[in-house]
Chain A
């Protein structure tokens, strides 16, 4: 039984649909990320689960019980807000104890649990501090502590890392994963940062315009995007227009950029069909031109070389005029991956590493 189930949920604000007929199951104990550009409705999904918004239509089940109309204060769900939303007139202790006090928990138990939780978020001993004296990272941890101290069934996190600087964000990412493992409860995390989504989650839900584009493990989302939006939003892609010239079994021959190449036909494309061929920068290889490029590889010239320590990023202008972005890794066999600007090269990839999608 899923811990949260959204069934045909729709929601609009001022007659502007934000979520349309959305279905989503969240499994117990998983780390689920809602990923999408701003305005895609991901935060609204979170607020619907929290009970801070109500569905216009459809139903919402938490732990199997219909809670579509249940007010926020009665749901076994707690939220970490993007702005942290700490109570400025209270100390750290009073902020964290707020939920427990409302539930009339005995004072001694409150003290113990606040103490434990503060230790869990690495803020031990800060009970009496005022909110104003805390750094952004500390406020973030208080916000998390205030939510998890209530031992909710589900913890909702609304872009909690977006206000932190890069180093702190990386640290918090690790801490969140550890916290998830220790607590064993369900985390639903909202972000527009694909790197965050890929590194943190058990499962990623990619959203756009209020609908789910793709749901899957980070690896599936990255390696086999189901449409151009997902491919473009998650990671970088080089996209080629191509036409299927011939199909044979599980392979097909495509014409693009003035060349012919055999690729895999996973989606049962027909001869003559227009397709998009997607390639991740790291899936393409660059070789120095010998007389002429081998069959199935694309000639071009290096326009930019960016040295990044472990990798070298190349921007290559193909002879057709299209620019591609290629990442080359340093490895033992092939030391010389440094190229000169304007050096003629060939770009190719191993058959099967491409993703082909119907031209929409």
Chain B
């Protein structure tokens, strides 16, 4: 009895979580347009995507911003995490608190405040403003991940390496880098997915000259959910899933 209860409970949870996604993915292969009834398997909506230069543009713009912003955020965030964990300076706690507050603050607030900042700074909304915004909201996640890793290892290993004859650069390359690498990679992949699927902040800080995929989908949906959108969302979802799984495997490595 309890066994059946458990199974139905678990299936209910999974249906609730993945049902909508599954429907979307199934209908991206549907032959028919404007209908929710199944009319046979087809890949034509995926083909249609490839024929749409605007869409492909938006896709490559998204990838570019996600790649660059995640890498910049990873580099800055790793350095930041080092600063917080290795040095004791005034305002260290405040810095950490601010990192968390950026992570927690609502996207809409972030979006509007960044827009105001860019306008005051005289920047035209476009690629650069979008990039800065994405780096900003990815940064805290990298700092938190890498910091957790650094505080997780015994500081005596650095002493041990020096004691065994390692010079500063050897300590860095042979001990510190390999030990924090999983966290850095996880932070990078997480940033990549955050950047790739952000809508709200991007909506405020990008300009008409630089369109990205989530915003493009958003505008397409205004005219109705077409199988084309379903296909696009499926691609985006799989991309994000791949990055998240990779990040997850790496964070698991961290806990060892």
Contacts and interface: CB of A to CB of B under 8 A. Distances in A.
Contacts of A82: 156
A87 B159 contact: no
Interface residues of A, number: 26
Contact of A103 (B159, B165, B167, B174): B165
Nearest to B159: A52
B236 interface: no
Contacts of A74: 165
Interface in B104-147: none
Interface string B142-178: 0000000000011011011111111100100011001
Contact of A87 (B160, B163, B165, B170): B160
Contact of B157 (A51, A85, A99, A103): A85
A78 B153 CA distance: 21
Contact of A78 (B163, B175, B179): B163
Contact of B163 (A72, A83, A88, A103): A72
A74 B167 CA distance: 9
B175 A83 contact: no
Interface string B26-62: 0000000000000000000000000000000000000
A359 B170 CA distance: 55
Nearest to B180: A89
Contact of B179 (A88, A99, A147, A150): A88
A72 B154 contact: no
Contacts of A146: 160, 164
A52 B256 CA distance: 28
A81 interface: yes
A147 to B, nearest CB: 8
A297 interface: no
Interface in A70-91: 71-74, 77-79, 81-83, 85-89
Contact of A73 (B167, B174, B256): B167
Contacts of B170: 102
Contacts of B178: 89
B179 to A, nearest CB: 6
A73 B160 contact: no
A73 B162 contact: yes
6 closest Cβ pairs, A-B complex: A85-B156, A99-B164, A85-B160, A72-B162, A102-B165, A73-B165
Interface of A: 50-52, 71-74, 77-79, 81-83, 85-89, 98-99, 102-103, 132, 146-147, 150
